[in-house]
Every structure is written in C-alpha cells, then in structure tokens.
Amino acid sequence: IDILEHSLTTVVGQIVLDQEKPKYAGYIRSKNQKISQPIYVKKPAIKLEGTEVLKVFIDKYPSKKHDFFVASVLDVVGHSTDAGIDVLEVLESM
C-alpha cells in the first residue's frame, strides 16, 4: 500500500531543546494526542530559547529507518509564558 497524501502536515507545540540528536534543535511537545512519536525540529536560522511555541511543517514521517517525525519551523506563535498562548495554539493548529 502506498501513502499518497498525509492529512497531518503542520503541528503546533512548545519546543524542548535537546542535544540528543545534534542535527536537530530539539523536539516539539504537542498537545495533539494522536501523535505518539517525537517531532524533531531542524535547526532554524533563529536562536531558540526553549520557551517558544512553534508552528512546524512536517518534512518526514516515521518510517522503518527512523521512528520519529522531522519538521521545519514555519512560524513562532509565541512563548509559553505569554498571556492567551493556549488560545493562539489552538487557533494555529486548525
């Protein structure tokens, strides 16, 4: 069976800086409970502090070679300490 198109192309969540995989800035902690694998984020041109809520585009999906998503940053939605960030997170994920 071939997958022609994925319905999930973007994800919103807080970045968790992680040095485990040096090719990536860290991974996204998404509130989407349908995603069980980690979403590693490619290192962006901007410096991340670890409090950012990001909207990312999924470049690679889990496969036999690797059991995680790979994504690139589309937008910085805000910071986890910003007022109303929960609402912005929900709106951006639609």
| Range(s) of the domain holding residue 18 | 10-92
Predicted local distance difference test score (pLDDT) of residue 93: 81
Give per-10-residue mean pLDDT for the chain (94 aa): 79 90 90 86 89 94 89 93 88 82
Count of C-beta atoms within a 10 Å radius of residue 79: 13
Does residue 2 form part of some domain? no
Does residue 52 form part of some domain? yes
Predicted local distance difference test score (pLDDT) of residue 27: 94
Predicted local distance difference test score (pLDDT) of residue 12: 93
What does the buried/exposed string (b/e) look like for 56-65 if buried means 16 or more CB atoms within 10 Å of the residue's CB?
bebeeeeeee
Predicted local distance difference test score (pLDDT) of residue 40: 95
Burial class (CB in 10 A: 0-12, 13-18, 19+), 2: exposed
Does residue 3 form part of some domain? no
Predicted local distance difference test score (pLDDT) of residue 8: 84
The reported pTM is 0.85
- Domain count across the chain: 1
* Residue 8, CA atoms < 13 Å, CB-side half-sphere: 17
